[in-house]
Protein backbone atom coordinates (compact mmCIF):
# COMPACT_ATOMS: atom_id res chain seq x y z
CA UNK A 1 0.00 0.00 0.00
CA UNK A 2 2.69 2.46 0.98
CA UNK A 3 5.22 1.31 -1.59
CA UNK A 4 4.84 4.47 -3.65
CA UNK A 5 2.85 6.94 -1.60
CA UNK A 6 0.15 9.35 -2.65
CA UNK A 7 2.20 12.51 -2.15
CA UNK A 8 4.92 11.49 -4.60
CA UNK A 9 2.40 10.89 -7.39
CA UNK A 10 0.68 14.19 -6.66
CA UNK A 11 4.07 15.94 -6.82
CA UNK A 12 4.69 14.48 -10.29
CA UNK A 13 1.24 15.68 -11.33
CA UNK A 14 2.13 19.16 -10.05
CA UNK A 15 5.39 19.16 -12.07
CA UNK A 16 3.47 18.17 -15.22
CA UNK A 17 0.86 20.86 -14.64
CA UNK A 18 3.44 23.61 -14.10
CA UNK A 19 5.44 22.53 -17.16
CA UNK A 20 2.26 22.54 -19.25
CA UNK A 21 1.22 26.01 -18.07
CA UNK A 22 4.69 27.44 -18.79
CA UNK A 23 4.65 25.74 -22.19
CA UNK A 24 1.24 27.23 -23.00
CA UNK A 25 2.25 30.74 -21.98
CA UNK A 26 5.77 31.02 -23.42
CA UNK A 27 5.74 29.01 -26.66
CA UNK A 28 5.10 31.06 -29.76
CA UNK A 29 4.69 27.97 -31.92
CA UNK A 30 1.02 26.97 -32.09
CA UNK A 31 1.82 23.25 -31.96
CA UNK A 32 3.91 23.91 -28.82
CA UNK A 33 0.87 25.46 -27.15
CA UNK A 34 -1.08 22.27 -27.95
CA UNK A 35 1.69 20.18 -26.36
CA UNK A 36 1.37 22.29 -23.20
CA UNK A 37 -2.35 21.51 -23.09
CA UNK A 38 -1.59 17.79 -23.35
CA UNK A 39 0.86 18.05 -20.43
CA UNK A 40 -1.73 19.79 -18.24
CA UNK A 41 -4.38 17.17 -19.01
CA UNK A 42 -1.93 14.39 -18.22
CA UNK A 43 -1.09 15.93 -14.86
CA UNK A 44 -4.80 15.96 -13.99
CA UNK A 45 -5.13 12.36 -15.19
CA UNK A 46 -2.27 11.24 -12.97
CA UNK A 47 -3.96 12.85 -9.97
CA UNK A 48 -7.25 11.07 -10.73
CA UNK A 49 -5.57 7.68 -11.02
CA UNK A 50 -3.56 8.28 -7.83
CA UNK A 51 -6.73 9.08 -5.88
CA UNK A 52 -8.41 6.02 -7.39
CA UNK A 53 -5.54 3.95 -6.00
CA UNK A 54 -5.09 5.50 -2.56
CA UNK A 55 -8.57 6.59 -1.52
CA UNK A 56 -12.09 5.22 -1.72
CA UNK A 57 -12.63 6.96 -5.07
CA UNK A 58 -12.02 3.60 -6.70
CA UNK A 59 -13.50 3.06 -10.11
CA UNK A 60 -14.71 6.64 -10.56
CA UNK A 61 -11.17 7.96 -10.90
CA UNK A 62 -10.41 5.51 -13.68
CA UNK A 63 -13.63 6.39 -15.53
CA UNK A 64 -12.95 10.13 -15.27
CA UNK A 65 -9.39 9.70 -16.52
CA UNK A 66 -10.68 7.69 -19.50
CA UNK A 67 -13.11 10.51 -20.34
CA UNK A 68 -10.26 13.01 -20.06
CA UNK A 69 -8.14 10.97 -22.49
CA UNK A 70 -10.97 10.80 -25.05
CA UNK A 71 -11.77 14.51 -24.78
CA UNK A 72 -8.06 15.39 -25.08
CA UNK A 73 -7.86 13.41 -28.31
CA UNK A 74 -10.92 15.23 -29.67
CA UNK A 75 -9.47 18.59 -28.62
CA UNK A 76 -6.16 17.80 -30.33
CA UNK A 77 -7.96 16.97 -33.59
CA UNK A 78 -10.00 20.19 -33.66
CA UNK A 79 -7.10 22.38 -32.50
CA UNK A 80 -4.87 20.88 -35.17
CA UNK A 81 -7.46 21.69 -37.84
CA UNK A 82 -7.58 25.27 -36.54
CA UNK A 83 -3.76 25.42 -36.60
CA UNK A 84 -3.74 24.26 -40.23
CA UNK A 85 -6.27 26.95 -41.15
CA UNK A 86 -4.12 29.52 -39.32
CA UNK A 87 -1.10 28.37 -41.33
CA UNK A 88 -3.07 28.61 -44.58
CA UNK A 89 -4.08 32.19 -43.82
CA UNK A 90 -0.84 33.54 -42.32
CA UNK A 91 1.86 31.26 -43.83
CA UNK A 92 3.38 30.91 -40.35
CA UNK A 93 2.44 29.10 -37.14
CA UNK A 94 3.66 31.90 -34.85
CA UNK A 95 0.66 32.69 -32.63
CA UNK A 96 1.89 36.25 -32.05
CA UNK A 97 1.02 37.03 -35.68
CA UNK A 98 -2.65 36.26 -35.20
CA UNK A 99 -3.63 39.65 -33.82
CA UNK A 100 -6.17 40.92 -36.34
CA UNK A 101 -8.98 40.81 -33.81
CA UNK A 102 -7.06 43.08 -31.45
CA UNK A 103 -9.29 45.88 -30.24
CA UNK B 1 13.49 -0.40 -1.44
CA UNK B 2 11.29 -2.75 -3.38
CA UNK B 3 11.22 -3.12 -7.14
CA UNK B 4 8.07 -1.00 -7.24
CA UNK B 5 9.88 1.93 -5.70
CA UNK B 6 12.84 1.61 -8.07
CA UNK B 7 10.52 1.51 -11.08
CA UNK B 8 8.49 4.40 -9.73
CA UNK B 9 11.62 6.52 -9.24
CA UNK B 10 12.86 5.70 -12.77
CA UNK B 11 9.57 6.52 -14.49
CA UNK B 12 9.00 9.60 -12.33
CA UNK B 13 12.40 10.92 -13.43
CA UNK B 14 11.59 10.16 -17.07
CA UNK B 15 8.19 11.84 -16.80
CA UNK B 16 9.48 15.03 -15.17
CA UNK B 17 12.57 15.17 -17.42
CA UNK B 18 10.46 14.79 -20.55
CA UNK B 19 8.03 17.49 -19.41
CA UNK B 20 10.85 19.91 -18.54
CA UNK B 21 12.59 19.30 -21.83
CA UNK B 22 9.32 19.99 -23.67
CA UNK B 23 9.41 23.41 -22.03
CA UNK B 24 13.12 24.03 -22.63
CA UNK B 25 13.54 22.79 -26.23
CA UNK B 26 12.99 25.38 -28.95
CA UNK B 27 12.88 22.95 -31.85
CA UNK B 28 9.34 21.64 -32.21
CA UNK B 29 10.37 18.16 -33.39
CA UNK B 30 12.51 17.68 -30.25
CA UNK B 31 9.54 18.90 -28.20
CA UNK B 32 7.37 16.19 -29.78
CA UNK B 33 9.98 13.52 -29.00
CA UNK B 34 10.25 14.64 -25.35
CA UNK B 35 6.46 14.58 -25.15
CA UNK B 36 6.47 10.95 -26.36
CA UNK B 37 8.94 10.01 -23.59
CA UNK B 38 6.89 11.84 -20.96
CA UNK B 39 3.54 10.33 -21.98
CA UNK B 40 4.89 6.78 -22.25
CA UNK B 41 6.40 7.10 -18.77
CA UNK B 42 3.04 8.35 -17.49
CA UNK B 43 1.42 5.19 -18.84
CA UNK B 44 4.06 3.16 -16.98
CA UNK B 45 3.12 5.07 -13.81
CA UNK B 46 -0.53 4.12 -14.46
CA UNK B 47 0.49 0.46 -14.63
CA UNK B 48 2.42 0.86 -11.35
CA UNK B 49 -0.70 2.37 -9.76
CA UNK B 50 -2.54 -0.83 -10.87
CA UNK B 51 -4.71 1.06 -13.38
CA UNK B 52 -4.02 -1.33 -16.22
CA UNK B 53 -6.84 -0.37 -18.58
CA UNK B 54 -6.15 3.36 -18.23
CA UNK B 55 -2.45 2.72 -18.86
CA UNK B 56 -3.17 0.71 -21.99
CA UNK B 57 -5.57 3.39 -23.22
CA UNK B 58 -2.94 6.05 -22.57
CA UNK B 59 -0.42 4.11 -24.66
CA UNK B 60 -2.84 3.55 -27.53
CA UNK B 61 -4.69 6.86 -27.69
CA UNK B 62 -2.00 9.32 -26.57
CA UNK B 63 1.28 7.81 -27.68
CA UNK B 64 -0.18 6.09 -30.71
CA UNK B 65 -2.76 8.64 -31.80
CA UNK B 66 -2.51 12.14 -30.41
CA UNK B 67 1.26 12.42 -30.74
CA UNK B 68 1.15 11.18 -34.33
CA UNK B 69 -1.50 13.83 -34.99
CA UNK B 70 0.74 16.50 -33.45
CA UNK B 71 3.73 15.36 -35.51
CA UNK B 72 1.59 15.56 -38.65
CA UNK B 73 0.73 19.09 -37.58
CA UNK B 74 4.43 19.89 -37.23
CA UNK B 75 5.15 18.52 -40.68
CA UNK B 76 2.25 20.33 -42.36
CA UNK B 77 2.95 23.71 -40.77
CA UNK B 78 6.73 24.05 -40.87
CA UNK B 79 7.83 26.26 -43.75
CA UNK B 80 11.52 25.36 -43.31
CA UNK B 81 13.28 22.31 -41.93
CA UNK B 82 14.09 22.59 -38.20
CA UNK B 83 11.62 25.36 -37.55
CA UNK B 84 12.53 27.50 -34.56
CA UNK B 85 10.49 30.40 -33.20
CA UNK B 86 12.39 31.72 -30.21
CA UNK B 87 10.96 33.41 -27.19
CA UNK B 88 12.91 36.29 -25.71
CA UNK B 89 15.19 35.46 -22.71
CA UNK B 90 13.38 37.93 -20.44
CA UNK B 91 10.10 36.09 -20.99
CA UNK B 92 11.89 32.81 -20.30
CA UNK B 93 13.29 34.01 -16.96
CA UNK B 94 9.91 35.45 -15.94
CA UNK B 95 8.16 32.17 -16.83
CA UNK B 96 10.76 30.14 -14.93
CA UNK B 97 10.31 32.28 -11.82
CA UNK B 98 6.53 32.03 -11.96
CA UNK B 99 6.80 28.28 -12.54
CA UNK B 100 9.02 27.76 -9.49
CA UNK B 101 6.60 29.78 -7.36
CA UNK B 102 3.63 27.79 -8.75
CA UNK B 103 5.38 24.48 -8.09
CA UNK B 104 6.33 25.45 -4.54
CA UNK B 105 2.71 26.39 -3.79
CA UNK B 106 1.48 23.03 -5.12
CA UNK B 107 4.13 21.02 -3.26
CA UNK B 108 3.48 22.84 0.02
CA UNK B 109 -0.24 22.20 -0.36
CA UNK B 110 0.18 18.50 -1.17
CA UNK B 111 2.57 17.80 1.67
CA UNK B 112 0.58 19.71 4.28
CA UNK B 113 -2.56 17.58 3.92
CA UNK B 114 -2.94 14.51 6.10
CA UNK B 115 -4.67 12.19 3.62
CA UNK B 116 -5.30 9.30 6.02
CA UNK B 117 -7.05 11.53 8.54
CA UNK B 118 -9.02 13.12 5.71
CA UNK B 119 -10.13 9.69 4.52
CA UNK B 120 -11.23 8.65 8.01
CA UNK B 121 -13.22 11.88 8.39
CA UNK B 122 -14.87 11.36 5.00
CA UNK B 123 -15.85 7.81 5.92
CA UNK B 124 -17.32 9.09 9.20
CA UNK B 125 -19.43 11.76 7.49
CA UNK B 126 -20.75 9.77 4.56
CA UNK B 127 -20.95 6.45 6.43
CA UNK B 128 -19.71 4.75 3.29
CA UNK B 129 -16.27 3.27 3.80
CA UNK B 130 -15.67 1.28 0.66
CA UNK B 131 -12.12 -0.02 0.48
CA UNK B 132 -10.68 0.37 -3.00
CA UNK B 133 -11.17 -3.22 -3.99
CA UNK B 134 -9.59 -4.33 -7.21
CA UNK B 135 -7.12 -1.49 -7.24
CA UNK B 136 -4.56 -2.80 -4.74
CA UNK B 137 -1.79 -5.35 -5.04
CA UNK B 138 -4.02 -8.26 -4.05
CA UNK B 139 -6.16 -8.12 -7.17
CA UNK B 140 -4.29 -5.83 -9.50
CA UNK B 141 -5.00 -6.14 -13.19
CA UNK B 142 -8.70 -6.58 -12.56
CA UNK B 143 -10.11 -3.27 -13.74
CA UNK B 144 -11.43 -4.07 -17.21
CA UNK B 145 -14.62 -5.85 -16.17
CA UNK B 146 -15.76 -3.22 -13.61
CA UNK B 147 -14.97 -0.43 -16.07
CA UNK B 148 -16.97 -2.09 -18.86
CA UNK B 149 -19.92 -2.71 -16.54
CA UNK B 150 -19.89 0.88 -15.31
CA UNK B 151 -19.97 2.11 -18.91
CA UNK B 152 -23.22 0.24 -19.52
CA UNK B 153 -24.67 1.60 -16.29
CA UNK B 154 -24.04 -1.18 -13.76
CA UNK B 155 -22.00 -0.73 -10.61
CA UNK B 156 -21.41 -4.11 -8.97
CA UNK B 157 -18.40 -2.79 -7.05
CA UNK B 158 -20.59 -0.42 -5.01
CA UNK B 159 -23.55 -2.83 -4.78
CA UNK B 160 -25.66 -0.79 -7.17
CA UNK B 161 -25.69 2.24 -4.86
CA UNK B 162 -23.63 4.44 -7.16
CA UNK B 163 -24.75 5.61 -10.58
CA UNK B 164 -23.19 4.16 -13.69
CA UNK B 165 -21.75 6.07 -16.60
CA UNK B 166 -24.13 5.19 -19.43
CA UNK B 167 -25.30 8.75 -20.16
CA UNK B 168 -21.78 10.32 -20.14
CA UNK B 169 -20.63 7.47 -22.37
CA UNK B 170 -23.35 8.25 -24.92
CA UNK B 171 -22.64 11.98 -24.72
CA UNK B 172 -18.94 11.37 -25.36
CA UNK B 173 -19.68 9.15 -28.34
CA UNK B 174 -21.93 11.81 -29.92
CA UNK B 175 -19.22 14.38 -29.09
CA UNK B 176 -16.65 12.31 -30.94
CA UNK B 177 -18.91 12.18 -34.00
CA UNK B 178 -19.37 15.97 -33.90
CA UNK B 179 -15.60 16.46 -33.53
CA UNK B 180 -14.95 14.16 -36.48
CA UNK B 181 -17.29 16.13 -38.74
CA UNK B 182 -16.06 19.48 -37.42
CA UNK B 183 -12.38 18.68 -37.86
CA UNK B 184 -12.99 17.43 -41.40
CA UNK B 185 -14.96 20.62 -42.17
CA UNK B 186 -12.28 22.91 -40.70
CA UNK B 187 -9.30 21.21 -42.31
CA UNK B 188 -10.65 20.73 -45.81
CA UNK B 189 -9.08 22.66 -48.64
CA UNK B 190 -11.15 25.68 -49.53
CA UNK B 191 -11.99 26.10 -53.17
CA UNK B 192 -10.55 29.39 -54.30
CA UNK B 193 -13.23 31.76 -55.52
CA UNK B 194 -12.16 33.62 -58.63
CA UNK B 195 -13.09 37.26 -59.04
CA UNK B 196 -15.42 36.92 -62.02
CA UNK B 197 -17.60 34.10 -60.70
Mutate to test the interface with B, among A22, A73, A87 (most CBs of B within 10 A): A22
pLDDT of residue B128: 59
CATH hierarchy code of domain B1-79: 1.20.120.1200
Summarised one tens digit per residue, pLDDT across range B155-164 is: 877 666 777 8
> A12, B62: Cβ pair inside 8 Å?
no
| Chain B contact set for A29 (CB, 8 A) | 28, 83, 85
> A12, B179: Cβ pair inside 8 Å?
no
Q: What is the rounded distance in angstroms from the CA atom of residue B173 to the CA atom of residue B62?
A: 18
Summarised one tens digit per residue, pLDDT across range B41-52 is: 999 999 998 888
Residue range B85-108: mean pLDDT, rounded: 89
| Confidence band, pLDDT 50/70/90 cuts, at residue B138 | low
pLDDT of residue B149: 87
Cβ atoms B65, A72 nearer than 8 A: no
Nearest CA in chain A to B105: A14
Q: What are the structural domain ranges in chain B? A: 1-79, 143-189
CB-nearest to A23 from B22, B77, B123 is B22
CB-nearest to A4 from B15, B48, B70 is B48
Nearest CA in chain B to A1: B136
Cβ atoms B14, B38 nearer than 8 A: yes
Q: How far is CA B139 from CA A48, A72, B54, in A?
A: 20, 30, 16
Cβ neighbour number for residue B57 with a 10 Å cutoff: 19
> B107, A57: Cβ pair inside 8 Å?
no
Contacts of the segment B158-165: beta carbons below 8 A, 24+ positions apart = B158/A58, B158/A59, B158/B130, B161/B128, B162/A60, B165/A63
pLDDT of residue B26: 86
pLDDT of residue A94: 83
CATH hierarchy code of domain A6-91: 1.10.287.3510
Cβ atoms A31, B25 nearer than 8 A: no
Helix or strand or coil: residue A15? Answer: helix
Query: CA B92, B96, B98 angle in degrees (round to 5)?
Result: 120
pLDDT of residue B152: 87
Q: What are the structural domain ranges in chain A? A: 6-91
| Confidence band, pLDDT 50/70/90 cuts, at residue B134 | very low
Helix or strand or coil: residue B168? Answer: helix
* Residues in CB range of B15: below 8 A, 6 or more apart: A12, A15, A16, B38, B41, B42, B45
pLDDT of residue A72: 93
> B99, A21: Cβ pair inside 8 Å?
yes
Cβ neighbour number for residue B131 with a 10 Å cutoff: 10
Q: A-B interface: how many C-beta pairs under 8 angstroms?
A: 236
Q: What is the rounded distance in angstroms from the CA atom of residue A17 to the CA atom of residue A40?
A: 5
ipTM: 0.91
pLDDT of residue B81: 56
| Confidence band, pLDDT 50/70/90 cuts, at residue A1 | very low
Amino acid sequence: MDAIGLNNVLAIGAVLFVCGVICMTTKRNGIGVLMGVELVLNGANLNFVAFARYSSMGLDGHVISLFVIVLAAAEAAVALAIALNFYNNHLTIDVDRGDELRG
Amino acid sequence: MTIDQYLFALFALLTCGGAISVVICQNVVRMAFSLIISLASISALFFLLSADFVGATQLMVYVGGTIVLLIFGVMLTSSSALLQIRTSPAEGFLAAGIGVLFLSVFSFTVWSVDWDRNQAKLAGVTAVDVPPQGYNEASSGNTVRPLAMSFVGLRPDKAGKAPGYLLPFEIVSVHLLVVLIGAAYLARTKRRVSAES
